[in-house]
Copies of this chain bind each other. A is one copy, B any other.
Amino acid sequence: MMSVEKRTKSVDLSHHLSELSKARPISPLKGLMKYFAQPGILALAGGLPSPAYFPVSDISANVLVPESFALSPTESSTSSMSWLWKLFGSHNATKEKTQAVTVPKYPVVKGEINLATSLQYGSAAAQGQLQDFLKHFISEVYRPAFEDWTALIDTGNTDGWLRAVTTLCNPGEGVLCEEWTYPSAIASMLPYNIKPVPVAMDGLGMKSDDLENLLSQWDPVSRQMPRPHVMYIVPVGQNPSGSTMSVARKKQIYDICVKYDVIIVEDDPYYFLQLGTYAFKDDRSPSATLSGKPSADESKQYVSTLAPSFLYFDYEGRVIRLDTFSKTIAPGSRLGWFTCNPVFAERLERQGETSAQAPCGFGQAVITKILTHWTYDGYIRWLRGLRTEYQQRRNFFIDCLAEEFHLHAVPAVAGVWEGCSVYQASSKVKKSARMTEKYSARNRTMFSFVPPVAGMFVWMRLHLDQHPSFVPGNEDTLETKLWTKLAENGVLFAPGWIFAANAIAEDSDNNDSGHFRISFSNAEFADLKNAVTIFGRVIREFFQEEDL
């Protein structure tokens, strides 16, 4: 990896704090807190119940072993076969290889995770063992280029982003983001009158030249807002496009953000779902043989293959990285964390204290116990197995598309997929004589996509200009018409229009197309196959490639 500048201390970026954030009071007890830390003090200040009144003596969990999932694609993986088990009426859980862990109310060893502490009112910063795990994890995996970074837990990236954007932005300001982005991120900021400022994308995500042009030519008068000083970005497994930013591009974007004093909020839920390049079934080569056991050497080697975080380049402390256990443990964890400079962390912590307070202690206890039981190397092994599972899912889903449609790979020279090999899909079904007579078009492309290199989604562009009743301006109508037809036939995709950062952006090049975002993360393999078959029938009918 390229060498980067390192610094001991983050620079002072407190001028980025919003009025709202600055107005959040510091606890009036701050000056008195030294007394609270006195060992053996008789504390009758807070409204803390006695742990004797917590009605849980201990919590136990049967936890999957870290090597639950194979490291190379295999047909016998738990998840890909689970639909089969379901058919035969048995429960998946019975096939899971587990080990029992217990969190007692009172710790047997001092400092060990326990319910008396984790179910008590707690510091928003994270409890001892979890804080230790996260610090080790961050320094091994993300290796921030500044030393005084802080890890602060939150209730997941939705909470993380809301807290970050209201900590940094005043009403009337704008946030730089990819032209297609996560709708919930936009929904969080709009009520505060903070608006998205879309930047063009190519196959590697946000374009650095467009970003530079946008910032250098920013005119506050015509734009009716000051030059943005905050960026929201999903650099790995971009949602919805599935692209992943290269090392060089990340460095370029970071340097531009230094030049124009922009804070980067890196929302990275799919970081450990880096799936590699898709190849057709027959072109796949077997992967290298791996031990399959957690090991420090393999952890180190694996981590070095991952795209670096923005933190890796962050010698100034201008990155707020958002991590979550939603995709690696479970969404219901509602547990994630910020990695950022201590000044921002302090404001984010104050905000947490007046909203969700600390994340749920049941969740913190169970997850901390899982992580410390697995150890760092075990967790990395778990993440590697999970990656392979999603790789298999992606491969299976695109294999299904390749069976259902004629896929033709062409290099994209412009647009959001510039630099990528784009798969154009046309009908495999022979048209009837009547159809051929009616329409002259042959092998018309109905949709195209780039197999995602990370994440959970295929981002599909519909070639609506190829539709018999296309007239410029009716793309939305056609997209919704097709979406509704699919839903009526039993298949739900996410409609593409909800991912447009700015529906009214004038520089959009998407004026001849609708989009679908299709998730391969959850459905049983048989259902994925079934969905593609239905999709094939409905889209051919829609494009009138097939008789009704």
A45 and B362: CB pair below 8 A?
no
- With beta carbons under 8 angstroms apart, the residue of B92, B330, B361, B494 that contacts A106 is B92
Using a CB-CB cutoff of 8 Å, which residues 344-402 of chain A contact chain B? 353-367, 370, 382, 386, 389
A534 contact set on B, CB distance < 8 A: 42
Q: Give the segment of A56-64, A286-294, A405-413, A425-433 that binds chain B.
A: A56-64
State whether the Cβ of A473 lies closer than 8 Å to any Cβ in chain B.
Answer: no
One digit per residue, 1 when the CB lies within 8 angstroms of any chain B CB and 0 when it does not, for chain A 10-26 equals: 00000000001101110
Q: Give the segment of A135-143, A190-198, A249-257 that binds chain B.
A: A190-198
Nearest CB on B from A286, distance (A): 24
Nearest CB on B from A97, distance (A): 9
Closest to A24 in B: B191
A515 contact set on B, CB distance < 8 A: none
A91 and B64: CB pair below 8 A?
no
B333 and A492: CB pair below 8 A?
no
A105 and B121: CB pair below 8 A?
no
Given A43-B522, A190-B23, A519-B48: A362 and B355 within 8 A (CB)?
no
CA distance A96 to B51 in the complex (A): 12
Using a CB-CB cutoff of 8 Å, which residues 505-528 of chain A contact chain B? 517-523, 527-528
Using a CB-CB cutoff of 8 Å, which residues 30-53 of chain A contact chain B? 32, 35-36, 38, 40-53
Closest to A23 in B: B191
Nearest CB on B from A35, distance (A): 4
A35 and B492: CB pair below 8 A?
yes
B44 and A518: CB pair below 8 A?
yes
Using a CB-CB cutoff of 8 Å, which residues 422-447 of chain A contact chain B? none
A64 and B68: CB pair below 8 A?
no
Q: Give the segment of A181-189, A222-230, A298-306 that binds chain B.
A: A181-189
CA distance A28 to B498 in the complex (A): 7
A63 contact set on B, CB distance < 8 A: 55-57
CA distance A96 to B115 in the complex (A): 14
CA distance A55 to B382 in the complex (A): 9
User: How many chain A residues touch the partner (CB < 8 A)?
Assistant: 123
Given A48-B519, A58-B93, A521-B47: A490 and B42 within 8 A (CB)?
yes
B356 and A44: CB pair below 8 A?
no
State whether the Cβ of A295 lies closer than 8 Å to any Cβ in chain B.
Answer: no
Given A366-B362, A492-B36, A519-B46: A53 and B333 within 8 A (CB)?
no
A57 contact set on B, CB distance < 8 A: 61-64, 93, 96, 98
Given A330-B56, A490-B38: A188 and B354 within 8 A (CB)?
yes
B49 and A521: CB pair below 8 A?
yes
Closest to A270 in B: B47
Closest to A82 in B: B52
State whether the Cβ of A466 lies closer than 8 Å to any Cβ in chain B.
Answer: no
Nearest CB on B from A227, distance (A): 24
CA distance A42 to B95 in the complex (A): 25
Given A44-B523, A98-B57: A106 and B91 within 8 A (CB)?
yes
B491 and A50: CB pair below 8 A?
no
A20 and B106: CB pair below 8 A?
no
B492 and A155: CB pair below 8 A?
no
A41 contact set on B, CB distance < 8 A: 487, 490-492
CA distance A91 to B51 in the complex (A): 12
CA distance A41 to B490 in the complex (A): 5
Nearest CB on B from A92, distance (A): 6
Closest to A382 in B: B55
State whether the Cβ of A118 lies closer than 8 Å to any Cβ in chain B.
Answer: yes
B20 and A191: CB pair below 8 A?
yes
CA distance A389 to B121 in the complex (A): 20
B93 and A106: CB pair below 8 A?
yes
Could you write out 13 A-B pairs with CB less than 8 Å apart? Answer: A24-B187, A44-B491, A44-B522, A44-B528, A50-B82, A50-B521, A52-B78, A57-B61, A59-B59, A122-B331, A334-B360, A355-B356, A359-B360
- Across the A-B interface, the 8 shortest Cβ-Cβ residue pairs: A332-B361, A360-B360, A119-B332, A119-B330, A52-B79, A35-B487, A23-B191, A362-B363
